Chain A
Amino acid sequence: MEETPHDCPGTGSAQAGRGSACQGCPNQQLCASGAGAVPDPAIEEIKEKMKTVKHKILVLSGKGGVGKSTFSAHLAHALAEDENTQVALLDIDICGPSIPKMMGLEGEQVHQSGSGWSPVFLEDNLGVMSVGFLLSSPDDAVIWRGPKKNGMIKQFLRDVDWGEVDYLIVDTPPGTSDEHLSVIQYLAAAHIDGAVVITTPQEVSLQDVRKEINFCHKVKLPIIGVVENMSGFICPKCKKESQIFAPTTGGAEVMCQDLKIPLLGKVPLDPHIGKSCDEGRSFLIDVPDSPATLAYRSIIQRIQEFCSLHQPKEERTSLAPETQQNVLDESSPS
């Protein structure tokens, strides 16, 4: 199982089990029978599970260390400030989970109940799930290849008892690989509102982020918009601005114009952000008047507007009385 043959046509393709590379493969019969082409039953189960989740937002970036987790954490904090909004934060960075530390939940454990894993609750209306809660020590490394990571993500989506949720925020690892494909595949039937793409201003970061945007197009994932993080630094002493990560090619602004996608805003570097994250607190509450807080709040408002304008169609149809009646008819024993 370790290696896929070099020219493997893929288990889902019409050539499965019939290609020249399939000769001698231990799975040839299984593939040829068409069993591999059947969609994972988990996709339907997850769709059912996600019926109680109104909005699903992915936080993505091709580049690492640009602030995906910081943004995810603060989006969750800000949305949960309204106590009538139920927020769920899911961390699918399996090898480098940062969310537990940033939310001040390091060392917490997940509890098993009759209806699945219970998320760890920071507030009554803010539940968090991460592989970090399943490790016994902060030194534990999750040295897993793709399939095992995918299994974990499936469990997070299917087996966690999220309850009624207004916003599910999914924080992802950098790149365009197993974790990303899996989460999008598993949520395919459940409707994802869209992705927020995070970048920093320099070209070395933008070149990876363009790949991520291409990835979104390839998998038909709507892009809510781009956030430029670490955009300029104001010296706490002389209050003058300098560009630590200079936008040598125009930064996210020019990239967004070129690719015709919305720029949600720019968040300046503020040393307090890192400090609040290290201490597991909300920077938005800690430093309410920082320019970075104002930038965050305006970006988060735009995301909320996007989500309320893009209500899933299914929700409306399922509310139609005749549809409900059909469901009732089918489930009634007579």
Chain B
Amino acid sequence: MEASAESGNLAGVRHIILILSGKGGVGKSTISTELALALRHMGKKVGILDVDLCGPSIPRMLRAQGRAVHQCDGGWVPVFVDQEQSVSLMSVGFLLEKPDEAVVWRGPKKNALIKQFVSDVAWGQLDYLVVDTPPGTSDEHMAALDALRPYSPLGAVVVTTPQAVSVGDVRRELTFCRKTGLRVIGIVENMSGFVCPHCTECTNVFSRGGGEELAKHAGVPFLGSVPLDPELTRCLEEGRDFIQEFPQSPAFHALSAIAQKILKETPA
């Protein structure tokens, strides 16, 4: 019944990476976006599939809001966010008539759309498909994983913030990965430390070290910590390319190191 890995619209996709977190607002979409941009700067072709149906953030972060999805023989054509067409994107945000419209759907309807996103988007040839998810361990996650399983995804990057309240939710997400047989590529700690732009004092706004500790505890790789950087937030607000504009920021170094580690995982 399921499409075999040889056929279908994902046949030309080499590596599939899911971005997960039990907690909301920890930076899943930020990491998805920046990871995609970092991989692009390394010469890769990247697609982003946004399966957060109730709160799609990626279109804004890539300045693609308001763009439309077109149909072709192969299915839906994703939205290309750059001239070179090296980053393509699919999100429920492109299917809404008004940007403020709420998608008030229960599980089965969400599952059906995610299935369609996986089977009907004509991605073409991609080196990486980054799948951004909503918080939790529920319908969207099971639907996405079920639909992607025939294409053997590379694994999951799990995002957390440093404080214990967030780490608690992320522990549950790791259990989800274990139960569903999804490999954990590693944990990213986001928002760790804020350097005051006035006096350069570093404050751990949301505590520190929780992500690394969790990785040790769970026996999974730790990919790195990304500091809080108002420039990064601003770039995402305005849909600008942080990787290109702020190569001197410590957040840039953290992000590109994470992308490097993922590249190493996947020999060309």
Determine if A117 is an interface residue (Cβ-Cβ < 8 Å).
Answer: no
Are A139 and B204 in contact, CB atoms less than 8 angstroms apart? no
B contacts, CB < 8 Å to A:
22-26, 29, 54-55, 57, 60-61, 99-112, 134-139, 141-142, 161, 163-166, 168-169, 171-176, 179-180, 194, 196-199, 201, 203-207, 228, 230, 233-234, 236-238
Are B237 and A173 in contact, CB atoms less than 8 angstroms apart? no
| Given A96-B169, A211-B101, A244-B230, A277-B163 contact (CB < 8 Å) | yes
Are B168 and A212 in contact, CB atoms less than 8 angstroms apart? no
Are A62 and B54 in contact, CB atoms less than 8 angstroms apart? yes
Chain A residues contacting B238 (CB-CB under 8 Å) are: 248
Are B179 and A277 in contact, CB atoms less than 8 angstroms apart? no
Closest 8 CB pairs of A and B: A64-B24, A65-B25, A146-B107, A95-B136, A175-B54, A238-B199, A4-B108, A141-B175
| Given A101-B165, A207-B99, A237-B199, A274-B171 contact (CB < 8 Å) | no
Determine if A220 is an interface residue (Cβ-Cβ < 8 Å).
Answer: no
Residue of A nearest to B161 (CB): A65
**A237 to B194 CA separation, bound complex (whole angstroms):** 12
Residue of A nearest to B204 (CB): A271
Can you report 26 A-B residue pairs in the complex whose CB atoms are below 8 A from each other?
A64-B23, A64-B55, A65-B23, A65-B26, A65-B135, A96-B24, A96-B135, A139-B172, A142-B137, A145-B138, A174-B25, A178-B107, A207-B60, A208-B55, A211-B100, A214-B100, A218-B104, A235-B199, A236-B201, A237-B196, A238-B198, A240-B196, A242-B230, A246-B230, A248-B234, A274-B163
Chain A residues contacting B102 (CB-CB under 8 Å) are: 62, 176, 211-212, 214-215, 218
Determine if A45 is an interface residue (Cβ-Cβ < 8 Å).
Answer: no
A237-275 with Cβ < 8 A to chain B: 237-238, 240, 242-246, 248-249, 269, 271, 274-275
Chain A residues contacting B137 (CB-CB under 8 Å) are: 95, 141-143
**A301 to B22 CA separation, bound complex (whole angstroms):** 32
Chain B residues contacting A202 (CB-CB under 8 Å) are: 233, 237
Q: Which of B26, B176, B205 contacts A274 (CB 8 A)?
A: B205
